[in-house]
Structure formats: structure tokens, C-alpha cells
């Protein structure tokens, strides 16, 4: 088909707002966004996160209040992340599977207090290890893959026992989805969903998050390059996604978001599986900094960024702007 001017005038279909709305290919709705929540011990506790303006660590009781507000705005799910005291951290991250731990209590209490909200729980060891890495360290400080999986399985089961809807392994260990899925099936948790951080890159955008969960000081100047993916590569992402699907993942994740929309698009074209995307802390902090300096319109920039993620093929978006986006969409 050949289109030539003046028979074809592409500006005709952009002439006014009603026409543009009628032909819009992708739209945002409250069902598209997921709010991350950082948890701390105690009651009626709020700790501001300096590197993430307007985001705080909150105690479970305040988290319940916040989720009730979010639900009234139309949100369908929240993602929980713990920040525990250093006294509970060790080299193995054993607090991660404590049945009376922070995350375990949070899942139970939220489930008891609120109906029809999907709870996503982070499965990783970095909030729990004294060294800040996502796995068990060997003698030469290498990350021990299989030994780490054994702990991740215990952590996953402890969350499933509390009634979590979706467990989200974000560690990037080889074979962890297979191990977790088998353990869930064996222990009767056949309906517990797995959201695998399949395409998680070793990115420089994670700094504020590591501050939020209290792992940045423990990690020191070390990186996670031996298990998270090289940001120069895309084939790795497709390999990881294919393996995780075969091992039992129900949903896959791309993280970070905006710089990796090409990865979302490639996965969407290659596989028939839901895709979530994480607009990470560094992306959020950069927008906030630009807004503070009055360089951009916050509402317009945020909604554009979320819309672009949908256009690339994301089914849902974990974003620190979820609450504001819900209000802007009303």
C-alpha cells in the first residue's frame, strides 16, 4: 500500500482532542499501576527517605491505612519491601524466612484488614544480609548460586504460608524459579503466583532504593554484576525470560523501565506471558529533581512515561508515582 500526499494527510486524524482520543492505541487505567511500600517495625512509624522525596518507610499499621486509601483510588496491587534493623542481619540472610518476621506479619495483617488487594512480596536477600548482596557469599566473596536458592525457597514458602498473592524473586540466581515453583507445588501452594524479575539489569538507577531498604551501607562500593545483567545486552533478557517461563513463572519483570523499553517490546513480541515493568527509584528521583527545579511539568511527564511503558507492551507498572497517577487519572 502506497500513501501519498495530498490524498493522505496524517494530520487529519490529529485535528482535535475527541478524534485523537478515539484512535488512541493505548490507554492508562488505575488497573495498570502498582504502588511499592517500604515497611519498618513498630507502630505509627514514618521515616522519610531523603533520596526519594514524598516516599517514606512506614510501619504495618500505617501501611494498612495507606493501602485502604489506594484501594479507594482504584489500585489493584501493592508491592512490599522490608527495611529491617541491622541487628537482625547476618551473612546468610536467615531473617528472610522468619515466620514472625516483618514481611510475614505485614502480609498476614494486610490480608486480614483488606479484601481484594493483590499483595506482591519481594523475594531477595539483600535487605537481610550483613554484606548487602542478594545471595550467600563464598570464601572468595563470590555469590553462591545453589546455596542462595535454598534460602530463597524457605523465604518464598514463609510468604506463601501467610497468604501472599504473588511472590517476586528479584535475586537473579540461575534456577531459582524452578526450585521455588517445585516447593510451592509440594507444599500445597498451587495458586501462589510467581512474578520473576527475569530481565533485571545491573543498573545505576537503583541507588535510592538501596537507601530505602537499608542495604546501601552494607553493600559498600561493591556491585552486583555477576548476577544482574549487563545493560549493553538484550539477548540475555530473552534467554532469562524463556528459562523462567519454562521453570514456572506466571509473570515476568523488566527492571529498570524507561531505558529498557526495547527489552519490554522484544519480550512482548517473543512470548505470550504478562509483563510487568518497574519504574525504579533513580527514575523517580530524577523526575522529582527536575520538577523541583521547574524544568518539567510533573503530571504530564509522569503520565507520558507510564503511557510509553504501556505502549512498549507492559501489562502493569510498579511505580512510586502510583498514588499520584491514580489521582491524575480520575
Mean pLDDT of 120-129: 95
Q: What is the distance between the alpha carbons of residues 289 and 145, in angstroms, rounded to a whole number?
A: 38
Q: Tell me what the pLDDT averaged over the chain comes to.
A: 94
Q: Mean pLDDT across the stretch 133-144?
A: 89
Report the pLDDT value the prediction gives residue 218, as an integer from 0 to 100: 62
200 catalytic, yes or no? Answer: yes
pLDDT band at 217 (very low <50, low <70, confident <90, very high): low
Averaged over 195-206, what is the pLDDT? Answer: 94
| 68 is known as an active-site residue | no
Given the residues 48, 108, 139, 200, select the one marked as catalytic: 200
Q: Per mean pLDDT, which range of 46-55, 66-75, 208-217, 291-300 is the poorest?
A: 208-217
**CATH number belonging to the domain at 28-329, selected among 3.20.20.70, 3.40.50.2030, 3.40.50.720, 3.40.50.2000:** 3.20.20.70
pLDDT at 225: 85
DSSP string, 204-257: SS-HHHHHHTT-HHHHTT---TTTSBPTT-SHHHHHHHHHHHHHT-SEEEEESS
| Residue 75 in this model has a pLDDT that exceeds 90 | yes
Q: Is the confidence at residue 168, as pLDDT, over 70?
A: yes
| Rounded percentage of the chain residues whose pLDDT exceeds 70 | 98
> Of the listed 89, 224, 255, 323, which one is catalytic?
255
And the C-alpha cell for 32?
Answer: 495498570
Q: What is the pLDDT, as a whole number, of residue 212?
A: 76
Q: How confident is the model at residue 224 (pLDDT cuts 50, 70, 90)?
A: confident
Q: How confident is the model at residue 128 (pLDDT cuts 50, 70, 90)?
A: very high
Residue 122 has pLDDT above 90, yes or no: yes
pLDDT band at 219 (very low <50, low <70, confident <90, very high): low
Domain ranges of the chain: 28-329
Is residue 1 classed exposed, middle or buried when 0-12, 13-18 and 19+ CB atoms within 10 A define those classes? exposed
pLDDT at 213: 73
Cα–Cα distance measured from residue 63 to residue 45, given in angstroms and rounded to the nearest whole number: 10
With helix as H, strand as E and coil as C, how does 87-104 read?
HHCECCCHHHHCCCCHHH
Indicate whether 220 pLDDT > 70.
Answer: no
How does pLDDT run across 226-283, given as a tens digit for each residue? 889 999 999 999 999 999 999 999 999 999 999 999 999 999 999 999 999 999 999 9
CA atoms within 13 A on the CB side of 254: 30
| pLDDT greater than 70 at residue 314 | yes
Pairing of strands 77-82, 118-123: parallel
Whether 223 has a pLDDT exceeding 90, the answer reads: no
Amino acid at each position: 500500500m502506497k500513501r501519498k500526499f495530498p490524498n493522505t494527510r496524517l494530520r487529519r486524524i490529529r485535528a482535535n482532542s475527541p478524534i485523537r482520543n478515539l484512535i488512541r492505541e493505548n490507554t492508562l487505567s488505575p488497573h495498570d499501576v502498582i504502588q511499592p511500600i517500604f515497611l519498618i517495625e513498630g507502630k505509627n512509624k514514618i521515616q522519610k527517605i531523603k533520596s526519594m522525596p514524598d516516599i517514606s518507610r512506614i510501619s504495618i499499621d500505617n501501611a494498612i491505612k495507606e493501602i485502604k486509601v489506594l484501594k479507594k483510588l482504584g489500585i489493584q496491587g501493592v508491592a512490599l519491601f522490608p527495611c529491617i534493623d541491622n541487628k537482625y542481619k547476618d551473612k546468610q540472610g536467615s531473617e528472610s524466612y522468619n515466620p514472625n518476621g516483618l514481611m510475614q506479619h505485614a502480609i498476614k495483617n494486610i490480608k486480614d484488614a483488606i479484601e481484594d488487594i493483590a499483595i506482591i512480596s519481594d523475594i531477595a536477600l539483600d535487605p537481610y544480609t550483613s554484606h548487602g548482596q542478594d545471595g550467600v557469599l563464598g570464601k572468595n566473596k563470590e555469590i553462591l548460586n545453589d546455596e542462595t536458592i535454598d534460602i530463597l525457597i524457605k523465604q518464598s514458602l514463609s510468604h506463601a504460608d501467610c497468604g501472599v498473592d504473588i511472590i517476586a524473586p528479584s535475586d537473579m540466581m540461575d534456577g531459582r524459579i524452578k526450585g521455588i515453583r517445585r516447593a510451592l507445588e509440594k507444599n500445597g501452594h498451587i495458586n501462589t503466583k510467581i512474578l520473576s524479575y527475569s530481565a533485571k539489569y545491573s543498573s545505576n538507577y537503583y541507588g535510592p532504593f538501596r537507601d530505602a531498604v537499608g542495604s546501601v551501607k552494607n553493600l559498600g562500593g561493591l556491585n552486583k554484576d555477576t548476577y544482574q545483567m549487563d545493560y549493553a545486552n538484550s539477548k540475555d533478557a530473552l534467554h532469562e525470560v524463556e528459562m523462567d517461563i519454562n521453570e514456572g513463572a506466571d509473570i515476568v519483570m523488566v527492571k529498570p523501565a524507561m531505558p529498557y523499553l526495547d527489552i519490554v517490546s522484544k519480550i512482548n513480541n517473543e512470548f505470550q506471558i504478562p509483563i510487568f515493568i518497574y519504574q525504579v527509584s533513580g527514575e523517580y528521583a530524577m523526575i522529582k529533581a527536575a520538577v523541583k527545579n521547574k524544568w518539567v511539568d510533573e503530571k504530564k511527564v509522569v503520565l507520558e512515561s507510564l503511557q510509553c511503558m504501556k505502549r512498549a507492551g507492559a501489562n502493569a507498572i510498579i511505580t512510586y508515582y502510583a498514588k499520584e497517577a491514580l489521582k491524575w487519572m480520575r
